[in-house]
Structure 1
Amino acid sequence: MEPLQTDFTQDDKCSFCCTLITEHYSCAKAINVVRRGGSEISCGSLDLSKKCEIVYNNFKKIATPVFDIDDDLLDMPHAVKVKIQHGGLLGLNNIVFNESTDSISDISKLILESEKHFKSLDAFPYESTLDYITSYKVRRRRK
């Protein structure tokens, strides 16, 4: 069992933080951390944090050309980032568990089960998640 991480840095910021702000997504490894700039979500597992970062970067790699944007933190609209994170995870969940849903109960479980299912992070069918990414409807904030 991996030891619990207690010294958080910017490197362990959750790759799927946009999804965890909603009530529809959760992760067993997510830890709320308060920093000077406000509250952020960090990962309690360095190993899983690296895996999630790889998965998210691959989602971005296939999606940014479709949205005709660069993978640049300053230029990428927040709505596109939300579509990539939410839609990518929903697509992966549908492929691995063969279930269509609008929520993910444990992102860490999804990533680890996907890795088991496909034998490696590189073998994920990222292209197959593209329809989920492009068709994901960003929910409006409630006032």
Structure 2
Amino acid sequence: MEEDKYRSTYNELTPVRCVFEKTLTNHQAKCLKARHFCLADREGYACSDKASADKCRKFLEKLREKSIFVLKLREINGPLPHNMEIRVQAGGVKGLSRLETPESGSGSNDAEVSEDINALLDRSIEKFGSLDDFPYSEIIQSVVKFQGRRRRQRK
């Protein structure tokens, strides 16, 4: 499929884009608001609720802002490289999830899939008051610890 045609079809399928698409595609988290689709030989996610998508976008913006030092960047002026974006997204969701269940904070659940990003954000907003009041210094510790899939060794 030609890339321009792919992009236009992708945009038609995703009127509300899921900002945690990379995390969902890499099976690091799930979300009940996400709608999975396959297009050509690729897969993607769209959000079924604009308000939820806005909340997720604001949370991801905060995560990216607070992760600048961890990523050894001076500023973020656009999309992050794929591995950095996965690290921020998946590590951030896992960090927020760990705040809910502190006994898992030892790092023993790094391989576990975080369930329902939207519900996790709703519970956290209820607990902390707003996205601005989240304890990002604690959440970012999970971004630091997050390691994506290992490269396969060539034989």
> Between the two proteins, what is the percent identity of the paired residues?
27
Q: Which runs of 4+ in 1 moved over 6 A?
A: none
Shift of 1:97: 3.1
Query: Closer, same or farther in 2 for the Cα pair 1:125/1:87, shift >3 Å?
Result: same
CA contact (8 A) 1:15 1:52 kept: yes
Q: Paired residue for 2:145?
A: 135
Query: Closer, same or farther in 2 for the Cα pair 1:20/1:99, shift >3 Å?
Result: farther
Larger Rg: 2
CA contact (8 A) 1:19 1:85 kept: yes
**What stretches of structure 1 of length at least 5 have no aligned partner?**
1-6
Deviations 1:2-38, CA, capped at 9 Å, x for gaps: xxxxx842xx211111110133421100012456895
SS across alignment from 2:67: helix
Q: Paired residue for 1:113?
A: 123
CA contact (8 A) 2:17 2:47 kept: yes
Q: Paired residue for 2:77?
A: 72
Provide the aligned C-alpha RMSD in A.
Answer: 2.5
Distance 1:37 1:63 in 2: 32
Q: Which amino acid is 1:49 matched to?
A: A
1:8-87 counterparts in 2 under 5 A? Answer: 8-9=14-15, 12-33=16-37, 39-69=43-73, 70-74=75-79, 76-87=80-91
CA contact (8 A) 2:30 2:115 kept: yes
CA contact (8 A) 2:36 2:43 kept: yes
Query: Closer, same or farther in 2 for the Cα pair 1:124/1:139, shift >3 Å?
Result: same
TM-score w.r.t. the length of structure 2 is: 0.75
Query: Closer, same or farther in 2 for the Cα pair 1:38/1:73, shift >3 Å?
Result: farther
CA contact (8 A) 1:28 1:106 kept: yes
CA contact (8 A) 2:66 2:136 kept: yes
Deviations 1:85-117, CA, capped at 9 Å, x for gaps: 111111111112325233212111111111111
